[in-house]
A and B are shown apart, each in its own frame.
Chain A
Amino acid sequence: MGKLKSWGIRGGVSLGKLKSWGIYIGRGVALLFAVSALSFALASASPINPETRYRLSHPGVSQENVTKMREYWGIDEPPVGRYLGWLGGLVRGEWGMSTTYRRPVLDVIGERFSASFALMATAWVLSGLTGFAMGCVMAAARDRWPDRILRRICLFLCSVPTFWIGLVLLAVFSANLGWFPFGLAVPPGVRAESVTLAQRIHHLALPALTLSCLSFANLALHVREKLVDVYQSDYVLYARARGECGAQILFGHGIRNALVPAIIMQFGSVSELFGGSVFAESVFSYPGLGSALAKAGMDASDIPLFLGIVMISAVFIFAGNLTANILTQVIDPRTKGVG
């Protein structure tokens, strides 16, 4: 009876649940503030600050100019004051000026976010579908040769650095076969308005493939584990006794059980995806957030942009985890009434 009741309130939101979501989101916001404080502290601890860079690039600069410069960047202000100023700007939507692009940080991020998002979303969907399908194949053929071969491949891929996959793909498909361009998101020398969708996809393919290699092997191995557990369960034994064939068992019992953990895992991998995009974008000179982050960090002068991207990545990860949490409760009826 209890089960029926919990099915009955599907979609309904109780007060207790609202409260637990409120706590969850509150924790998330507190975490974002902590991330901002941590990253600001680390960035301002760096010995490479505007002054040292200025002195390096302008040898023999007068003391007067240095003083002016210190004033301009607010170096003499106490760090806490600087942090609060920056934080206030973040909340108001004034994220400062990027020193490399000479434009507001939010503009640069907004522009690059769409490129990065296309890349990450493609890689995410690609790795999710391949990983899940591969896990199903491995579990269905468990301990036979397709399973052994695929599992070896997955274990191998788990130990491969993302950027090296990118280099190999670049060497094989761009240099040797010439099927794909060497990088960038659009062909060089073409006006932005006249770039076709096909051209964009053509440029997106290799970076997305590189990025999807990051997580699909892991996902496939987990799906396999989960499905093997299902196959050893009593209800599958019963289904077999009823005369259900392999496909019926896989689609009727296996996939339904493996889907929830797979989706949660895939949403939880957003952090790795973002980290991997730094490498994938750098290898392919793809103009997204990841390559901007690496570049801003390399110059070590474009701290406003760097910190902005750090904050965006933290928000992104929080959103991924939140979605995973919500989906768990929505998809899996068994978790109802627990939260």
Chain B
Amino acid sequence: MDGMRLDRDCTDDDGKCAAKRGYTGEDGKGGAKLVSWNRRTGAAAWAGCIFALILAIYIAGALMPDGALRADFAKKSLPPSLEHIFGTDFLGRDMFVRTVKGLSLSLLVGTVASCGAAVIALVVGVTAAMGRRWVDHVVNWIIDLFMGVPHTVLIILVSIALSRGATGMLAGIALTHWVGLARIIRGEVLQIRSAEYIAVSRGFGKSAPWIAVHHILPHMVPQFFVGLILLFPHAIMHESGLTFLGFGLGPEQPAIGIILSESMRYISGGAAYLAILPGLSLVLLVLLIDRLGHTLRYLLEPKEAQL
């Protein structure tokens, strides 16, 4: 069903009507039938399940005792088995524990970084669209500036400026990832701005900031949250990448990037499981979050959503 355009009034209970009909925005097969279990409730349940799973990964990683990461040289470099499903590393630490802890840390980093980026995007986007023309020009120019340097390079620069480590990386990710969302929000605000009730409000003598807060921002809530969640995968991938290169989290942290950069030394010895399993877990986490974002978008903006 991926990629199928869904129309709002499609409420068939088999949930496949859109797939069968293909893209038909206008034909009125669905109607306003009141079904207790339609695609929206299905999507909401789906989103709830994904969210619960992601939360479970986070809690599992946060609650796992650090003792589980104690070095045990009797068990070093074991391939995956029933006892250690991801194998053990060169210090005899269980790779599954390390991976779950790493995913948990990634979630934390991703939350902070994408919240930062989304807030920047919201402020910049609304300012650009609500302010005077020159403000818009300046903002567009800054966006061009940020697009003119590869993200990776810019994050490394910010990371160096803040002497590497977690803070630098978080700032770097937040400062580079707002661009896309800011553009979307700016476009949305420009559309709303020309609405009649805004003109009426202005006629009542309300100031631009008042209108922005009371009439514009509430409309941005869905965009904001969906955009925030869709920023997440990028933030996590950049986090692991930067950590892998050595600009992010320190080697004492149980991060996936650290696991993968350590595994580089053992791949030639045939210990591919050290790289493949933790990396695959990260990819699955990213896919889960991405799916959550798209499901939420479908719930919040049924017209434009693709599920």
A: residues with CB less than 8 A from B are 27, 31-32, 34-35, 38-39, 42-43, 45-48, 143, 148, 151-152, 155-156, 159-164, 167-168, 170-172, 174-176, 182, 225, 232, 271-272, 274-276, 278-279, 282-283, 293-294, 297-298, 300, 306, 309-310, 313-314, 317-318
Distance, CA A155 to CA B119, complexed state (A): 27
Nearest B residue (CB) for A162: B241
Distance, CA A167 to CA B241, complexed state (A): 12
Nearest A residue (CB) for B244: A163
Contacts of B164 in A (CB 8 A): 48, 300
Distance, CA A293 to CA B163, complexed state (A): 16
B287 close to chain A: CB less than 8 A: yes
| Contact call A271/B157, Cβ cutoff below 8 A | no
Give the segment of B50-58, B121-129, B190-198, B266-274 that binds chain A: B266-274
Distance, CA A48 to CA B161, complexed state (A): 8
B148 contacts which of A225, A282, A317 (Cβ < 8 Å)? A317
A313 contacts which of B153, B237, B245, B275 (Cβ < 8 Å)? B153
Contacts of A318 in B (CB 8 A): 148
B249 close to chain A: CB less than 8 A: no
Give the segment of B71-79, B199-207, B278-286 that binds chain A: B278-286
B67 close to chain A: CB less than 8 A: no
Distance, CA A42 to CA B160, complexed state (A): 8
B: residues with CB less than 8 A from A are 2-3, 19, 22-23, 141, 144-145, 147-153, 156-164, 233, 237, 240-241, 244-247, 260, 263-264, 267-270, 272, 275-276, 279, 282-283, 286-287, 290
| Contact call A271/B160, Cβ cutoff below 8 A | no
B245 contacts which of A34, A152, A282, A314 (Cβ < 8 Å)? A282
| Contact call B149/A39, Cβ cutoff below 8 A | yes
Kindly provide the distance from the CB of A262 to the nearest chain B CB, expressed in whole angstroms. Answer: 18
Distance, CA A317 to CA B152, complexed state (A): 13
Across chains A and B, the number of contacting residue pairs, with CB separation under 8 Å, is 152
Which 3 pairs between the two chains have the least Cβ-Cβ distance? A171-B272, A275-B152, A275-B150
Instruction: Sample 15 A-B pairs with CB under 8 A, ordered by A number.
Output: A42-B160, A45-B161, A48-B163, A151-B3, A155-B287, A156-B287, A159-B237, A159-B287, A160-B283, A161-B240, A167-B279, A225-B3, A232-B23, A300-B164, A313-B149
| Contact call A159/B161, Cβ cutoff below 8 A | no
Contacts of A168 in B (CB 8 A): 272, 275-276, 279
Kindly provide the distance from the CB of A187 to the nearest chain B CB, expressed in whole angstroms. Answer: 16
Distance, CA A282 to CA B260, complexed state (A): 13
